[in-house]
A = this chain, B = another copy of it.
Amino acid sequence: MTMGRCRLAIELGFLFLASAVFAGSAGAQPMPLLNLMPVPSSVQQGTGSLPIDSRFSVTLLGYTEGRLERAVERFRGQLSRQTAIPWAAKPSVSGATLIIQTVHASRAVQEVGEDESYVLEVTSTGARLTAPTPLGAMHGLQTFLQLVSVSPEGFAAPAVTIHDSPRFPWRGLMIDSARHFMPMAVIQRNLDGLEAVKMNVFHWHLSENQGFRVESKKFPKLHEMGSDGLFYTQQEVRDVIAYARDRGIRVVPEFDLPGHSTAWFVGYPELASGSGPYQIERHWGVFDPAMNPTQEGTYKFLDEFVGEMVQLFPDQFFHVGGDEVNGKEWTANPKIQEFMHSHGLKDNQALQAYFNQRMQSIVSKHGKSMIGWDEVLDPTLPKDITIQSWRGADSLAEAAKQGYRGILSNGWYLDLGWSAARHYAVDPFGEKAATLSAEEKARVLGGESCMWAEYVDEENVDSRIWPRNAVIAERLWSPAAVRDTEEMYRRMDVISTRLGWLGLTHKTYYDKMLHRIAGPATPEQFAALRNLADVVEPVKDYTREETAENEPTSATPLNRVVDAVPLESDQGRRFNELVQTFGNSSCQDAGSELRLRSQLALWADNDAAMQSLAQTSFLAKAVLARSQDLTAIAKVGMAALDLVKKGGGALNDWKERQLAIVEQAEKPKGQLLLIPASGIKALIVLAASPAGCSPAH
A74 at the interface (CB under 8 A from B): no
Contacting residues of chain A (609-624) with chain B, CB-CB under 8 angstroms: 615-621
User: Are A84 and B228 also in contact (CB < 8 A) when A519-B149, A618-B153 are?
Assistant: no
A459 at the interface (CB under 8 A from B): yes
Complex CA distance for A598 and B599, rounded to whole angstroms:
12
Chain B hits for A291, CB < 8 A: none
Interface size on A (CB < 8 Å)? 55
Complex CA distance for A153 and B516, rounded to whole angstroms:
14
Chain B hits for A154, CB < 8 A: 618
A696 at the interface (CB under 8 A from B): no
Report copies per complex. 2
A263 at the interface (CB under 8 A from B): no
Chain B hits for A508, CB < 8 A: 508, 511
Complex CA distance for A411 and B593, rounded to whole angstroms:
50
Whether B494 pairs with A512 at a CB distance below 8 angstroms is: no
A152 touches which one: B228, B229, B618 (CB < 8 A)?
A: B618
Chain B hits for A228, CB < 8 A: 89
Chain B's nearest CB lies how many Å from the CB of A431? Answer: 34
Complex CA distance for A413 and B389, rounded to whole angstroms:
60
A86 at the interface (CB under 8 A from B): yes
Please tell me which stretch of A1-9, A109-117, A553-561, A640-648 contacts chain B, meaning at least 4 of its Cβ atoms lie within 8 angstroms of it.
A553-561
Contacting residues of chain A (105-148) with chain B, CB-CB under 8 angstroms: none
Whether B559 pairs with A83 at a CB distance below 8 angstroms is: yes
Residue from the set A150, A151, A616 with the largest chain B CB neighbour count within 10 Å: A150
Whether A557 pairs with B85 at a CB distance below 8 angstroms is: yes
A88 at the interface (CB under 8 A from B): yes
Whether B520 pairs with A618 at a CB distance below 8 angstroms is: no
Chain B hits for A555, CB < 8 A: 54, 86, 88
Complex CA distance for A638 and B149, rounded to whole angstroms:
37
Whether A519 pairs with B616 at a CB distance below 8 angstroms is: no
Complex CA distance for A149 and B493, rounded to whole angstroms:
34
Whether B88 pairs with A150 at a CB distance below 8 angstroms is: no
A497 at the interface (CB under 8 A from B): yes
Whether B516 pairs with A83 at a CB distance below 8 angstroms is: yes
Chain B's nearest CB lies how many Å from the CB of A43? Answer: 16
A35 at the interface (CB under 8 A from B): yes
A453 at the interface (CB under 8 A from B): no
A70 at the interface (CB under 8 A from B): no
Chain B hits for A517, CB < 8 A: 150
A414 at the interface (CB under 8 A from B): no
Chain B hits for A366, CB < 8 A: none
Contacting residues of chain A (497-534) with chain B, CB-CB under 8 angstroms: 497, 500-501, 507-508, 511-513, 515-520, 523
A574 at the interface (CB under 8 A from B): yes
User: Are A150 and B84 also in contact (CB < 8 A) when A280-B89, A507-B511, A511-B507 are?
Assistant: no
A45 at the interface (CB under 8 A from B): no
Chain B hits for A511, CB < 8 A: 500, 507-508
Complex CA distance for A150 and B525, rounded to whole angstroms:
14
A298 at the interface (CB under 8 A from B): no
Whether A616 pairs with B150 at a CB distance below 8 angstroms is: yes
A82 at the interface (CB under 8 A from B): yes
Chain B hits for A557, CB < 8 A: 54, 83-86
C-beta contact mask, A469-498 vs B, less than 8 Å → 1, else 0? 000000000000000000000100110010
The closest CB in chain B to the CB of A90 belongs to: B228
Chain B's nearest CB lies how many Å from the CB of A221? Answer: 16
Complex CA distance for A465 and B171, rounded to whole angstroms:
43
8 new A-B contacts, CB < 8 A, other than A150-B619, A523-B574, are A81-B459, A84-B459, A150-B518, A150-B519, A151-B519, A151-B618, A494-B520, A497-B515
- 29 inter-chain pairs at a CB distance below 8 angstroms, sorted by A residue, are A35-B520, A81-B459, A84-B559, A85-B557, A86-B555, A86-B557, A89-B280, A149-B520, A150-B516, A150-B616, A150-B617, A150-B618, A150-B619, A150-B620, A151-B519, A151-B616, A151-B618, A152-B616, A152-B617, A154-B618, A493-B520, A493-B523, A497-B515, A501-B515, A507-B511, A508-B508, A508-B511, A523-B574, A598-B598
